């Protein structure tokens, strides 16, 4: 995998996704055995670019790189000449002369694709408007730990089923043979995504479908939600809250899902909106394990992809 970009996870075959997760689990085991510093990329540098705010991604990816022996440069696009109009292509060409891997959080997925096209080093997606692949790896590791298996997970995502997180869960679900129920208003359904995943789903036995019925959470292994107003969609806030309020994850939804279901949220959460305090702080919630796993999966991605 060395030298490859990670933009969506669609570009990785199912065994490669499993390999990244096995590597993540191994890094986590070694971390708890006291082997935190594993400098396999000593002396190399990771450049992290953020067009949007971040807590988990910024810190976990930086710490992961340090723990692999790397130097880290973090900058917002406003701190780079990008903010004054230097092209993405020229930025990619320049940075490739200094660093061994570039990771970026961007508003437009197309900018990430352009960065990857012109960079001669690997480019990793730290969230775009279309995908959040590193988060989905952390989610899969969390479910593996809590459910004791990596394949055949049944997950219901409630709320904004057209967003980047729903898309990335569908992608990883297709790679790992999961049943993904994307439950939310029909006008947000991204039917094209389901067809893009058809080949992987046929190979792994995954089943990915949309529904408007909250009752479809019944019997799942995991209930997942995300903010209703993603970064960049603030102008639509009022309308989205109205549209999505029937899909709030509250005690009734968790009871419908059943006691076997764990609750996941990529965070940050808007408590009282897409999820109640009672659920996110309740006994079925695994959100802090999920947040921790951003570190171990970022470490695996940097370890595997950095040349």
Q: Does residue number 56 form part of the binding site for ligand CP (CB under 6 A)?
A: yes
Q: Which two structure tokens, joined as six digits, stand for 44? A: 């190399």
Tell me which residues are annotated as active site.
105, 132, 135, 226, 266, 294
Q: How far is CA 239 from the centre of its chain?
A: 25
CB atoms within 10 A of CB 170: 28
Name, in order, each residue with C-beta under 8 angstroms of 255's C-beta and a sequence gap of 6 or more.
Answer: none
Q: How far is the CB of 49 from ligand CP (least distance, A)?
A: 13
Residue 260 engages ligand CP in binding (rule: CB under 6 A)? no
Q: E-assigned strands of the chain?
A: 45-50, 71-76, 101-105, 123-125, 154-158, 179-183, 207-211, 222-225, 262-265
CB 179 within 8 A of CB 206: yes
Q: Which of 168, 131, 137, 155 minimizes the C-alpha distance to 207?
A: 155
Q: Kindly state the smallest distance separating residue 163's Cβ from ligand CP, in Å.
A: 12
- Interface with ligand CP, residue 267, by CB under 6 A: yes
Q: Which of residues 148-207 bind ligand CP (CB under 6 A)?
A: none
Q: Which stretch binds ligand CP (CB under 6 A): 51-59, 74-82, 114-122, 299-307?
A: 51-59
- C-beta neighbour count of 195 within 10 angstroms: 10
127 is a contact residue toward ligand CP (CB under 6 A): yes
- Count of residues making up the chain: 307
Contact 157, 168 (CB under 8 A): no
Residue with smaller CB distance to ligand CP, 75 or 202: 75
Window 11-50: contact mask with ligand CP (x via CB under 6 A): ----------------------------------------
Question: What is the smallest separation between the CB atom of 52 and ligand CP, expressed in angstroms?
Answer: 8
Q: What is the DSSP string of 84-126?
A: GT--HHHHHHHHTTT-SEEEEE-S-HHHHHHHHHH-SS-EEES
Give the nearer residue to ligand CP in terms of CB position, either 243 or 267.
267
> Contact between 128 and ligand CP (CB under 6 A)?
no
Which residues fall within 8 angstroms of residue 101, CB to CB, at 6 or more apart? 44, 45, 46, 47, 121, 122, 123, 124, 302, 305, 306, 307
Q: How far is the CB of 265 from ligand CP (least distance, A)?
A: 9
Interface residue with ligand CP, options 54, 96, 168, 248 (CB under 6 A) = 54
- Nearest to ligand CP of 103, 150 (CB atom): 103
Q: Is 290 in the site for ligand CP (CB under 6 A)?
A: no
Cβ nearer to ligand CP, comparing 201 with 295: 295
Token pair listed for 184:
């939310």
Among the listed residues 272, 306, 285, the one whose alpha carbon sits nearest the alpha carbon of residue 64: 306
On whether the CB atoms of residues 174 and 200 are closer than 8 A, the answer is yes
Residue (38 or 63) nearer to ligand CP, CB: 63
- In the complex, least distance from residue 111 CB atom to ligand CP, rounded to whole angstroms: 17
Stretch that binds ligand CP, among 22-30, 55-63, 69-77, 83-91 (CB under 6 A): 55-63
Asked if 135 touches ligand CP (CB under 6 A), the answer is yes
The only residue of 35, 39, 55, 149 in contact with ligand CP, by rule CB under 6 A? 55
Which positions lie near ligand CP, rule CB under 6 A? 54-57, 127, 135, 266-268
């Amino acid at each position: 995998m060395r030298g490859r970009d990670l933009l969506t996870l669609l570009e990785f075959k199912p065994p490669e996704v499993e390999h990244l997760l096995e590597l993540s689990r191994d890094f986590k085991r070694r971390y708890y055995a006291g082997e935190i510093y594993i400098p396999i990329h000593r002396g190399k540098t990771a450049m992290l670019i953020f067009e949007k705010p971040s807590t988990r991604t910024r810190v976990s990816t930086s710490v992961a790189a340090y723990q692999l022996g790397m130097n880290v440069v973090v900058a917002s696009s406003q701190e780079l000449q990008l903010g004054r109009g230097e092209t993405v292509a020229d930025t990619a060409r320049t940075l490739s002369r200094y660093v061994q891997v570039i990771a970026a959080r961007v508003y437009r997925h197309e900018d990430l694709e352009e960065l990857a096209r012109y960079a001669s080093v690997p480019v990793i997606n730290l969230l775009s408007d279309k995908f959040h692949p590193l988060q989905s790896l952390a989610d899969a590791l969390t479910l593996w730990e809590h459910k004791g298996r990596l394949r055949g997970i049944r997950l219901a995502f409630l709320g904004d089923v057209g967003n980047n997180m729903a898309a990335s869960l569908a992608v990883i679900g297709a790679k790992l043979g999961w049943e993904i129920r994307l439950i939310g208003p029909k006008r947000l359904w991204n039917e094209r995504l389901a067809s893009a995943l058809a080949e992987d789903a046929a190979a792994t036995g995954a089943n990915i479908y949309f529904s408007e019925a909250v009752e479809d959470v019944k019997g799942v292994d995991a209930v997942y939600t995300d903010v209703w107003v993603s970064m960049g969609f603030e102008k639509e806030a009022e309308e989205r809250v109205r549209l999505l309020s029937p899909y709030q994850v509250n005690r009734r939804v968790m009871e419908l899902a059943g006691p076997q279901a764990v609750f996941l949220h990529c965070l940050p959460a808007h408590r009282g909106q897409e999820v109640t305090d009672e659920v996110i702080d309740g006994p079925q919630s695994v959100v802090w394990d999920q947040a921790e796993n951003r570190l171990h999966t970022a470490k695996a991605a940097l370890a595997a992809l950095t040349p």
